[in-house]
Structure 1
Amino acid sequence: MPKEKRLEHEVFSELAELCISPGYVHAIAYFCFRDNTIKYDDVMSVEDVLQQFSRDRLLRTEISTLVGLACKTRINTELPSPEVVQNYIDRTETLLEELHHSIMPSIAEAFDFEKIGDESLALFKSGAFLREPIFYSGEGAYLFQYRDFSKLKYQKDDDWFIENKKFTIQEAIAVATTTQALQDVKITELMFELVDKASNEWSLLPAFKFTVKEISCASQIEEEIVNQVIKSFISPVNMSDFNSLDDYNPTNAYPIIELSNNEYVLFQNYSLMQALYETPFFWLHEDERYRPTAMENRGKFAETFSADRLKLVFGEHRVFTNISIYTSRKKWAGEIDVLVVFANRAIVLQAKSKKLTIAARKGNDSHLQNDFKKAVQSAYDQAYLCATLLTDRNHKLIDENGDELNIHRDFKEVYPFCVVSEHYPALATQAKQFLQYNTTNCIKAPFVMDIFMLDVMTEMLQSPLHFLSYVNRRTSYGEKIYSTHELTILSYHLKKNLWMDNEYSGMYFEDDLCADLDLAMLTRREDVPGIDTPEGILTKYRGTVYDQIVKDIEILEHAQTIDLGFFLLTLSGKTVEILNSSVPKLIRRSKEDGKNHDLTLSFDEMRTGLTIHCNDDHPSTSMPRLRNHCEQRKYTQKATSWFGICIGAFFPKVKFGVNLEHEWAKEQRMDELVKDLPKIQRGDLIDFSTRTAKQRKTGRNERCPCGSSKKYKNCCLANL
């Protein structure tokens, strides 16, 4: 008979008893080494990082629970026999697995059958179901992000730190960084030492111990300052209120454990860096006199950080902050935290600083939704309101200096961004369940993220077209994509180019897809020897004709070519190869004979196409010729849209582009114009043709070869 499912509190109580067993900390040390350490040789590979995604690995939230339970009494560091430690390890893994199963409610527990037929009933919005992803969603930020962002978050509060804590935020970061570096050295040294020791002496605990003197010597910071930092993060003992998985675990905020003989132990460097980012705010908040200043600094940090990161992608001249919106009667209507304008696209970003409360973590429905409303829904509501006002010319935009912001307002797409500055567990899951939003032809679905995700996006996609193209697809596929982390989806995109055909109803991304991105970020931010860019869309066509065309379109920043840039970034490898092999031929032919040559690609399934003209003619001649050619190609293919670009021959750059978008309709005039147009040859996946302009000189009274239906003397000849 199958074993009867135990209640959650029963499993948790047994786990709590196990964690206060004599010498249990040696089992915790083993888990920390096994599951938090990436082992690699000279160069870290994706396969090395994939160790972190093993299903046998404990999550950091699980290890933090073990540490918290062990601190319910004074830590006993006595080394048990190898058999006892192994028993601790085996029992812990069994109980944690059972605990995971027990936290998942049955349908009967979570489903109110009396509400069947009620439109408000939403099974997966219940707190009972969201408790699991909130606890088991894993890390939403990298360790180095917590470390680096702490300085930015609290740099304006340094006077308070010096007066009340006797150290600066930079000194606290230095102590935490040194502790991590010292631990890495000790782990390596201990591995060699254990080889010469008897099995009954094996323990990994020494690698996680340290003293104030050790940190002071390694960091070159005075012992008194080091001592003040360490004391500020020491975990309390006898935590009587930590009695369930969702209770406040003080070791998350205060992860350093004090032992005897002036020794300390830190099991997870990640916990200390996260505490460094989160805990000081509560110190500031407790000071009633300083609280208003702390709140103001906290809000400014989120806005300033978001703007600075977006400037890396779009440049300072396209990013604006604190834009007030007024009606024609000078009445305030709204404020945009960060506004990005690129060609006919815009990002309206609203930032919030809100954490998930303990009550919400416990699965309380009202608290979950209330927290979400304060952190995300309110940010979206503001972003949507501002987006509608942004597109209304009756409203004026005033920057933070009081000057009117004079920008074009004919936006084709506006993307609302909702950014939270705190780690918000299972943010993607909660956004999918709770967020209520609207879309229009112009205002797209919102992109909900934290600053850690925004940081990675702007790090990896430092190109306006690549960045906006990803945003376009991510928001378009929002209801079809499922993942516990936004980072996972971004990692997939960098490798495979995120794209969904209409035949797919949804896609689910496993966490291990993030390994390539994790390695790239470790290489970039921690100087780990490895690959700093995942092999994929950013590397495969680097330096090719296709890559140059995309860059040229980005430099032009013309509304007519932005859609083409988006389109090019979705092309298959085979189509890209056609471009890379064919465009150089056009350029060579145009150089040889000085005539126009063109390449046409048709994409029947998407009802669109692309025509590339190559010539050095004056734009007054080449632009109408390209437009008319595209009109004819669009008509013959019965397409709803068509793109065209003109590339120079002796200076092979994109000179201009056209974008035709309108539904196909039969026209007698067009039938006459296209009757002699050469048909496109069929390829395996696309239609492909090249042709050269006729060499015969056009008569003055003949129809203009550009396709305008006008006489040559009244059309292109007059422009020569």
Structure 2
Amino acid sequence: MANETYLLNRKTPRAEQEIFADLTALCVSPGYVHALAYLCYRDNTMSYADEMTEADMVKQFNPSQLIRIEINTLIGLMVKAEVDWRLPTPQVLQEYLDTTERLLEELHDSMSGDMYRGVTPEVVSSGTFDPFRQGKAFREPIFYGGESAYSFQYLDLAARRYASDAPWLLKQRGFTISDSCTVAKAIDRVVDGHFVDVRKRMRKLHPDEWTMLPIYTVTVAEVAAQSLLAVELTERVLSAFTLPAGNRNSSFHAPHEFNAISATPLLRMPTGDFVSLQSYALAEALYDTPYYWMFEDKAYRPILAKNRGDFTESFASERLGLVFGGERVYANVDIWETKAKKAGEIDVLVVWGNRAIVVQAKSKRLTLEARKGNDQAIRDDFKKSVQDAYDQAIECSQCLGEKRFTLTDVSGREIVLPYELKEIYVFCVVSDHYPALSFQARQFLSTVTVPRIQPPLVMDVFTLDAMTEMLQSPLGFLSYVNRRANYADKILASQELTILAYHLKHNIWVDSGVSLFLADDISAGLDIAMTVRRTGIAGAATPSGILTRLNKTTLLGRIIKEIEARPEPAIIELGFFLLALSEDSVKEVSHAIDRLAALARADGKHHDLTLGYGVCEAGLTVHCNNYSASIAALHLQSHCKIRKYKEKASRWFGLCVDPAGPSIRFGISLYYTWVQIDAMDEVTRDMQTSMPTVALKPLLQGKILRKKIGPNDQCPCGSGRKHKKCCRP
């Protein structure tokens, strides 16, 4: 009842068009461009000392700051009249800033309230009201969800995306997109230099003369010098992404309508200089705009479409190869039911041990009508870009491992699966930035439950890029994919990168009956790491969390590496289990195994340790000895079966360690439902329960009571049997 009252008593905001009209009148005011320059300086600039830290990055998530899509909207409204470049007085400038922030906040409130507008008390109290099933509910997340890719990703991927189109671009435009990316990076360097110079000059000026606009003003000569490209080539690139003279952005009447500034974000001053207020906007334009140039050439459209598809598939294949190795990644896989009958096609297939990833890629953009909140357009776009990819992936995944189907790679060679597949992960990948993609997938994606096939992951190429950059370990990558897929309905975030960032920091785990809502600022560590790796600035290239605590210097980190070197089904399961441990458990278990190995080296005897993890209904038994492989395997298998039964666990893992390393000899995993058995009750009657990790402290301190175990003494493994009939070799 409280929720119903809240919904019905919401304050009705002004109509969106009325607010937008007020914003337009403000933006075409004399000298408003100087207010925009200040807003860009205030909200799009990040300063740091010797290296960028999370504290520096978190400042960018201040809710009082304008986001880039809002600034782009203001620029688009400003150019609806001829730009007045005169500098207003400080008082007028402050009025512009105050009014801008008030109107933008009001616009956001109006857009957010769209889903409730016109809703009657009867509808709300019916119990069936779901505002998120309406197209208009997506207008706000689509409009404000424009920053789920990094600017350097746009530049890096744009050069690759249009590489095959270079002949057309050179002939029709006189430059390649690689040239354009070089120019964009040069503009950034010029602007960076202006920050220092302009602020120095301002100290010598009267406050009435202060303006940030010179920071963002560049000349052709400056950019050419930084890019090392010819002046003529540099000017061609700059002009191609500059709003044409006389263009008044006439189609931009509402937030979701086409804004010419998105395609041509640069402005040209009467002096001939160029103004680049947002480097992010230029990077995004380099990724998107060339497509429309080429699309206008009807004869070139088939080639354009093929190149888009090839880019998405080759990019996904290359990035996944970085994680799993190129020999385990196959592009353009055909599935044959007979030699003459094709059953399906997989864009990219990854096979690692008894796991597989099936990638289906699409190159479909969100249309303008969908951005406006047209319900049918949103659903149609989603079907063409995501649902169709998912349906195709499911159809192909069901064929994997079936004897009547044969797989062949792009060269026609047969692909033989090394093991029976236990899990298949479905990736639906789109090549364009697709606003509110995760949100739409939660609402619209129709899925089916099929044995072995996990819930799908829906992402764009930018998310896949970040995932493969930060999770370059096969086990680490699949561990995240598994949990992300199975927690799809429990995690709420504005963008997929936020969820990845949370995992990197906290090792994502969601208890049953619990939902997790993640704020964007959790991604600060990931943002820094990606920026450091791709742009070379000073900072932490690896965010603190799972990547730092399970590194190769720890025993468990080395064990993970060994498992990945030989991805056998039994030890893959063990690897997933180890990666799910908490930070404290990782440290304690790693140190405990080191201690066991030290004891085994000192006395040459068998030592073991068993730990139970009730929260995940699992446990781990570690044996450290020099027994022959057959005897060691028999003892570990027996011990794990007994321990699993005693703990009534659904799964149990065993690890046999060579004390000399210590290094992994082999592992086992037991997965089956617990069933009461009288004989096992008798065997485990006197067995102690497994040790919780908090009980490891005496072991880590070396304070274990060591006494000689006789053949008729109870076996120290806890089985309850005599030592000579259990673990004694």
Give the TM-score taking structure 1 as reference length. Answer: 0.94
Deviation by residue 1:642-695 (Cα, 9 ceiling, x = unmatched): 110100012321111111111222223323443564554566589999898975
Q: How does 1:43-82 map to 2 (within 5 A)?
A: 43-82=51-90
Relative to structure 1, the CA distance from residue 141 to residue 56 in structure 2 (aligned partners, 3 Å threshold; closer, same or farther) is same
Alignment match, 2:405 = 395
Matching residue's letter, 2:193: V
Residue 6 of structure 2 corresponds to which residue in structure 1?
none
Aligned-partner SS, 1:394: coil
1:72, distance to aligned residue in structure 2 (A): 0.9
Q: Deviations over 1:353-379 (max 9, x none)?
A: 111111001000000010111111111
State the 1:107 CA deviation: 5.7
Alignment of 1:135-534 (within 5 A): 135-236=143-244, 237-328=247-338, 330-408=340-418, 410-504=420-514, 506-534=515-543
| Contact kept in structure 2, 1:469 and 1:569, CA below 8 Å | yes
Partner residue of 2:667 out of 657, 667, 691? 657
Query: Are 2:20 and 1:7 equivalent residues in the alignment?
Result: no
CA contact (8 A) 2:589 2:693 kept: no
Aligned equivalents of 2:689 and 2:79: distance in 1? 78
Q: Matched residues in 1 for 2:108 and 2:124: separation?
A: 28
Q: Evaluate the alpha carbon distance shift between residue 395 and residue 711 of structure 1 in structure 2; reply closer, same or farther with a 3 A threshold.
A: farther
Q: 1:676 to 1:118 in 2, by over 3 A?
A: closer
Q: 2:619 maps to what in 1?
A: 609
Would the aligned equivalents of 1:614 and 1:647 in 2 still touch at CA under 8 Å? yes
Spell out, residue by residue over 1:377-398, the C-alpha distance to the aligned partner (whole angstroms, 9 max, x if none).
1111111111111132221111
Please give the secondary structure, in 1, of the residue aligned with 2:323: helix
Residue 171 of structure 1: how far off its partner (Å)? 1.5
Q: 3-state DSSP class of the match of 1:68?
A: helix
Equivalent residue, structure 2, for 1:38:
46
**Partner amino acid, structure 2, of 1:256:** L
Identity rate, percent? 43
Structure 1 position 115, deviation (Å): 7.3
Deviation at 1:35, TM superposition (A): 0.8
**Mapping of 1:534-613 within 5 angstroms?**
534-542=543-551, 543-613=553-623
Cα distance in 2 between the residues matched to 1:426 and 1:99: 19
Structure 1: runs of 5 or more not aligned? none
1:545 partner amino acid: L
Over 3 Å counting, the alpha-carbon distance change for 1:232 and 1:613 in structure 2 is: same
Q: Is the 8 A contact 1:110 1:126 kept in 2?
A: no
Task: Kindly indicate whether the alpha-carbon contact (under 8 Å) linking 2:242 and 2:268 is maintained by their aligned counterparts in 1.
Answer: yes
CA contact (8 A) 1:682 1:688 kept: no
* Distance in 2, Cα, partners of 1:369 & 1:128: 12
> For 1:669, which of 666, 679, 682 is the aligned residue?
679
Task: Spell out, residue by residue over 1:181-210, the C-alpha distance to the aligned partner (whole angstroms, 9 max, x if none).
Answer: 111111221112111110010001111112
CA shift, 1:137, in A, is 2.0
Query: Residues 296-333 of structure 1: CA distance to partner in whole angstroms, max 9, x if unpaired?
Result: 01100000001101111111111111111111464111
Cα distance between partner residues in 1 of 2:724 and 2:691: 29
For 2:330 and 2:637, how far apart are their aligned partners in 1?
35
Counterparts of 1:361 and 1:261 in 2: how far apart (Å)? 37
Find the counterpart in structure 1 of residue 31 from structure 2: 23
Matched, 1:127 2:141: no
The answer as to whether partners of 1:413 and 1:443 remain within 8 angstroms in 2 is yes
- TM-score (normalizing by structure 2): 0.92
Is the contact between residue 608 and residue 622 of structure 2 (CA under 8 Å) also seen in structure 1?
yes
Find the aligned partners of 2:59 and 2:723 in 1 and give their Cα distance.
71
Compared CA separation, residues 118 and 302, structure 1 to 2 (3 A): farther
Deviation (angstroms), 1:436: 0.9
**1:683-694 maps to which residues of 2 (within 5 A)?**
none
- Corresponding residue of 2:633: 623
Partner of 1:105: 113
CA contact (8 A) 1:488 1:510 kept: yes
SS in 1 for 2:299: coil
Conserved in 2, the CA contact under 8 Å of 1:44 and 1:529?
yes
**What CA distance in whole angstroms lies between the structure 1 residues aligned with 2:285 and 2:685?**
72
Question: How far 1:485 moved relative to its partner?
Answer: 0.8
1:655 match: secondary structure: strand
- Between the two proteins, the alignment pairs up a number of residues equal to 712
Matched with 2:7 is none
AA at the equivalent of 1:6: R
Instruction: Tell me the residue number matched to 2:97.
Output: 89
Q: Which amino acid aligns with 1:234?
A: T
Which stretch has the larger CA shift, 138-147 or 659-668?
659-668
Distance 1:706 1:677, change over 3 A: closer
- Are the counterparts in 1 of residues 688 and 718 from structure 2 also a CA contact under 8 Å? no
The amino acid across from 1:262 in the alignment is G
Letter in 1 for 2:158: S
The answer on whether the counterparts of 1:612 and 1:645 sit within 8 Å (CA) in structure 2 is: yes
Greater Cα shift, 549-558 or 280-289? 549-558
Q: C-alpha separation between the residues in 1 aligned to 2:88 and 2:11? A: 31
Between the aligned partners of 1:223 and 1:379, the Cα distance in structure 2 is 45
Matched residues in 1 for 2:95 and 2:672: separation?
71
CA deviations over 1:530-581 (Å, ceiling 9, x no partner): 1111111111343122222222222231111212211111212332232123
The amino acid across from 2:524 in the alignment is A
Distance in 2 between residues matched to 1:687 and 1:608, nearest whole Å: 21
The more displaced of 624-633 and 689-698 is 689-698
- More divergent stretch after superposition (404-413 vs 242-251): 404-413
CA distance in 2, matches of 1:247, 1:385: 37
